[in-house]
Amino acid sequence: MSFTTLGLCDPILKAIQETGYTSPTPIQKKAIPLILKGDDVLAAAQTGTGKTAGFTLPLLERLSQNHQNTGTHRGQPKRHIRALILTPTRELAAQVGDNVETYAKYLPYKSTIVFGGVNINRQISTLKQGIDILIATPGRLLDLVSQNVIDLSRIEILVLDEADRMLDMGFIHDIKKVVRLVPKNRQTLLFSATFSKEIKALAAGFQTNPSLVEVAAQNTASERVEQVVYPVDKERKRELLYKLIDEGRWQQVLVFTRTKHGANKLCEYLVNRGIRAAAIHGNKSQGARTKALDDFKEKQIRVLVATDIAARGIDIDQLPHVVNFELPNVPEDYVHRIGRTGRAGREGEAVSLVCVDEDAFLRGIERLIAQKIKKVIIKGYEVDPNIEAEPINMGGGRGRRGGGRQSQSKSSNENNANKQGEQKRSNSRNRSRNRNRSRGNNA
């Protein structure tokens, strides 16, 4: 099957041809015909399989088919928002916006992106000029609605992209508010990297007899991604990461940490050792996040250290290496993380540096993806068997719009119980430090 057989108009096919893509991916083959029929669609596919184009291409075609219905009406401006695409993060909104601009290159539609963290006045100015397609994060969208800048009453197509992540981030109430503002006779598309009971419940509330599209077993990792676990003591992770990057001559590496503070500290460590690196997370300004991402894509920096939320929307076809400096406490996030590599039919490598504290996280991930991840012991970085597992500090809870599911703070009783073994763990760590010094491996 080629794009020409999917029923897309010539301007869209011309734009696709210029991108170099010749054949639709499995998710595109299944979803595009259903969307063109006007069906509500609930779709799940692995990250990197073309989900964004899977809804962008038919969305543009649908707008083109209904173009005759637009025009002035009782003095209203010709342009009004006809399609709304909701995304959980700024980076993903920017990625979707780029896709829309690319494929609408030869169509008469204007689009724009709105999200928080930047000056709202510029967004208001653009919106007042009139647009056809709006890509937005929920919070900033509702801010603009409250200021009477945005009218959603003429929306024809509503898209929820990365719907699972929006639920994780606590956007369910905002989503419900948005749905109440759009027409009931709209077309609604839900796209997600994973399915869950919550996603299906969301679809049941917002969609009408949706067509279900799933092109791979849910919650699985791409077969093109080589996964490996390097067991290592927590205090030696930075040394090992430096060794892998330096000796492996890795030139483009995306590294995940659990916390913003951890991202900053790791970035500082790498920079001090001569590796060009930048951190990207929610506390960074939008300008700093955009610059870091652009520099990473252009290979001006070798390492981008990111938290899970900030990394959503990083779309680099040939990204060769993803490193889990710390495993996520939510197994599904592992699938999202390693899905940043092995994209667009290319191969990639996903490395996880796992200390004894994270063994439970690793078991949860292996249950989710239904496979054992290969473990490799690197000489000189063997795990000290005397070090006992400790509860992981998740860095504190995040706000409603700040991030995903988190482990709850430890209760005072649990804290008291943990203190009983503190001296023993301290002694074990001291023994480990002395052993490490004797090796002379202070990279």
Q: What is the pLDDT of residues 382-394, one digit of tens each?
A: 999 998 888 887 6
Q: Which of 101-105, 226-230, 303-307, 421-425 has the lowest mean pLDDT?
A: 421-425
Per-residue pLDDT at 406 exceeds 90:
no
Class of domain 3-214: alpha beta
Per-residue pLDDT at 436 exceeds 70:
no
Which of the four pLDDT bands, split at 50, 70 and 90, describes residue 345?
A: low
Write the pLDDT tens digit of every residue in 292-320: 888 998 899 999 999 876 666 566 767 88
Same fold, 3-214 and 225-389: yes
Look up the pTM and report it. 0.64
Write the pLDDT tens digit of every residue in 233-285: 999 999 999 999 999 999 999 999 998 899 999 999 999 999 999 998 878 88
Which of the four pLDDT bands, split at 50, 70 and 90, describes residue 23?
A: confident
Q: What CATH code is assigned to 225-389?
A: 3.40.50.300
What's the Cα-to-Cα distance from 333 to each of 47, 129, 267, 297, 390, rounded to whole Å?
Answer: 11, 39, 21, 22, 22
Question: Which phi and psi angles does 326 have, rounded to 5°?
Answer: -135, 135
pLDDT value at residue 152: 96
In whole angstroms, what is the distance from residue 283 CA to residue 267 CA? 15
Per the CB < 8 A criterion, the answer to whether 329 and 258 are in contact is yes
State both tokens at 225: 């991604």
Which of the four pLDDT bands, split at 50, 70 and 90, describes residue 220?
A: low
* 117/420: higher pLDDT: 117
State both tokens at 180: 């109440």
Paired residues of 161 in beta bridges: 191
In whole angstroms, what is the distance from residue 309 CA to residue 168 CA? 10
Q: What is the 3-state secondary structure (H, E, C) of 100-148?
A: HHHHCCCCCCCEEEECCCCCHHHHHHHHHCCCCEEEECHHHHHHHHHCC
Question: Which phi and psi angles does 424 have, rounded to 5°?
Answer: -65, -40
Delimit the domains of the chain by residue range: 3-214, 225-389
Letter for the amino acid at 39?
D
pLDDT value at residue 289: 84
Mean pLDDT for the stretch of residues 61-84: 71
